[in-house]
Amino acid sequence: MNGKNYIAGSWVEAVGGARFESRNPARFDQVLGAVALSNREDAEQAVAAAKTAFPYWRGLSRVKRGEYLDRFVEAIKAQTDEITRLVASEAGKAYNEAKADVVEGIHMAQYMFGHARLSSGQVVPSEIAEKDAYMFRKPKGVVAVISPWNFPFAIPIWLITPALLEGNTVVFKPSGNTPLVGEKIVECFERAELPPGVLNLVHGTGEDAGWPMVTHPDVEVVLFTGSYDVGSRIKEACVKDYRKMYACEMGGKNAMIICQDADLDLAVRAAILSAFKTTGQRCTSASRLLVHESRMEEFAAAFVAMARRIVIGDPLDPQVFMGPLISESAMKKVDFYNLLAKQEGAQVLLDGGRLEEGAHRQGYFFSPFIYRMAHRKDARVLHEEVFGPHVALIPFRTLEEAVTIHNDVEYGLACSVFTEDYRIARRLREECEFGVGYWNLPTIGAEVHLPFGGLKKSGTGVPASWPLLDLVTHKVAWTVGYSHEIKMAQGLSADV
């Protein structure tokens, strides 16, 4: 499979003719495809195509635009298994997780399709009986979508479909780790007969292909999911531009709080899913398990025992729970933090390290790293995002202490609390800083119709899902007078 750019409805090579390879992280000798390696010129062509298509697209009715999303869903459903296998091979996600990624993409497109016939504005009262007042949404124009590899199918659809539904046109740069999945999304839109230029695809690196989109004067909105380092640069660039809007979803250092009265069977299973699904590479993964000290021994023993049973291997094998890390640099990062934990005084409970024998020889396989450590402000491993199967068990004594530890990180995305006491759950819900919270559930697995976004370094205040409909539109007031004379609000005189 080869990856090309898609500009103004045509599949094209990068202007400079360069290409890069997409490889399977579970078998790095397997090249999945050669992909266009784009630069500024390609990005500029894509923005120009999106700008040209905008007047036509915004001129269609919202319901008509929604119907394209319905056809898009049909195109996905016709090849769900093929797409799932591609996600598993290119992102290294275990088959069941790859499938859930595809299903999550379908759900978001369906949800936005449903929105097409829902109210897109408001009728509001006026002080004056002979006035009617309304709020309408107007699309902003060209929206840039820059998406990560870990949900290579769902996240682009989270970002693209609200933008399209509201009448914006899109330039899309998928992660350089998963370009072929990005390509599939665009192919499905092509099958849905989306008009040329409404959605454009540019492959390549963030620096050469993404940045020219972010800073392009004709791009009105930037929707980004990825690391804090990149997201904060995007935010800065947008803030400097007097009209550019942005929503960045970034990292997490998410915690589960396991209280004294917790149902440990539930908590252990939830912690395994939260820490090790997607090999710990979700922004919602839990890397801190705050456990009441009276339950620590019991919890740690059960958690480590279950972690030992995790099957690590080829994502296409249905027995496999954990696939590889995405890349060599991801592996180096996890290795670095595992070592750092030891240097910072961790009491290591499980450390299988890198797996290099037999079937694991050809991929970036890493086994779970579990340690116990008292909370400390100066321990980097308890504060920095690792994005891998690296998890700390941190004891606490009082709820107050649990809240303090929970909030003593620069991130605030996902949180889950385990308790049988509704008063405790409510207190934690109120006092912990997070955007996506759970009671007696894992920190992962949010559904598409809930707001998805974090506080502090995790987000920029506009969660994904329906709040994006606001970000990609301008809310305009429209007031109509029916009187034969001018009547003003606020008692303002109309006398001249």
38 binds ligand UN1 (CB under 6 A): no
Name which of 373 and 413 has its Cβ closer to ligand UN1: 413
Q: Which stretch binds ligand UN1 (CB under 6 A): 171-179, 237-245, 281-289, 342-350?
A: 281-289
Name which of 141 and 148 has its Cβ closer to ligand UN1: 148
Rule CB under 6 A: choose which of 72, 95, 151, 434 binds ligand UN1: 151
Enumerate the β-bridge partners of residue 138. Answer: 474
Residue 92 Cβ vs ligand UN1, minimum distance, rounded to whole Å: 14
Count of CA atoms in the C-beta half-sphere (13 A) of 111: 24
- The encoded tokens of residue 9 equal 């409805």
Q: Is 302 helix (H, G, I), strand (E, B) or coil?
A: helix
Q: State the catalytic residue, choosing from 249, 385, 415, 432.
A: 249
Enumerate the β-bridge partners of residue 33. Answer: 22
253 binds ligand UN1 (CB under 6 A): no
446 binds ligand UN1 (CB under 6 A): yes
Residue with tokens 């660039």: 237
**Count of residues that bind ligand UN1 according to CB under 6 A:** 10
282 binds ligand UN1 (CB under 6 A): yes
Q: Output the CA torsion 82→87→90→95 (10° steps).
A: -90
Helical segments of 1-94, H only: 40-59, 62-77, 80-91
299 binds ligand UN1 (CB under 6 A): no
- Contact pattern from residue 131 through residue 150 relative to ligand UN1, giving x for each residue in contact according to CB under 6 A and a dash for the rest: -------------------x
168 binds ligand UN1 (CB under 6 A): no
223 binds ligand UN1 (CB under 6 A): no
Name which of 57 and 153 has its Cβ closer to ligand UN1: 153
Q: Which stretch binds ligand UN1 (CB under 6 A): 279-287, 356-364, 366-374, 465-473?
A: 279-287
Name which of 150 and 287 has its Cβ closer to ligand UN1: 150
230 binds ligand UN1 (CB under 6 A): no
283 is catalytic: yes
Please answer whether residues 153 and 106 qualify as being in contact, where contact means their C-beta atoms are separated by less than 8 angstroms. Answer: no
CA distance linking residue 249 with residue 451, whole number of Å = 12
Q: Which stretch binds ligand UN1 (CB under 6 A): 76-84, 276-284, 310-318, 425-433?
A: 276-284
- The kind and range of the H/E element at 480 are strand 473-481
Of the candidates 418, 226, 369, the residue with the CA atom closest to the CA atom of residue 214: 226
Q: Report DSSP state, residue 373.
A: -
173 binds ligand UN1 (CB under 6 A): no
367 binds ligand UN1 (CB under 6 A): no
Residues between 99 and 138 that touch ligand UN1 (CB under 6 A): 104
Please answer whether residues 421 and 261 qualify as being in contact, where contact means their C-beta atoms are separated by less than 8 angstroms. Answer: yes
Q: Report DSSP state, residue 158.
A: H
Q: b vs e for 30-65, b when ≥16 Cβ sit within 10 Å of the residue's Cβ?
A: eebbebbbbbeebbbbbbbbbbebbeebbeeebeeb
Q: Which stretch binds ligand UN1 (CB under 6 A): 20-28, 282-290, 306-314, 344-352?
A: 282-290
Of the candidates 6, 86, 1, 9, the residue with the CA atom closest to the CA atom of residue 35: 1
Q: Which stretch binds ligand UN1 (CB under 6 A): 63-71, 198-206, 347-355, 439-447?
A: 439-447
432 is catalytic: no
- The kind and range of the H/E element at 303 are helix 296-308
Q: State the catalytic residue, choosing from 238, 283, 415, 432.
A: 283
CA distance linking residue 57 with residue 167, whole number of Å = 6
Q: Which residues bind ligand UN1 (CB under 6 A)?
A: 104, 150-151, 225, 282-284, 444-446
Q: Which sequence positions are flagged as catalytic? A: 249, 283
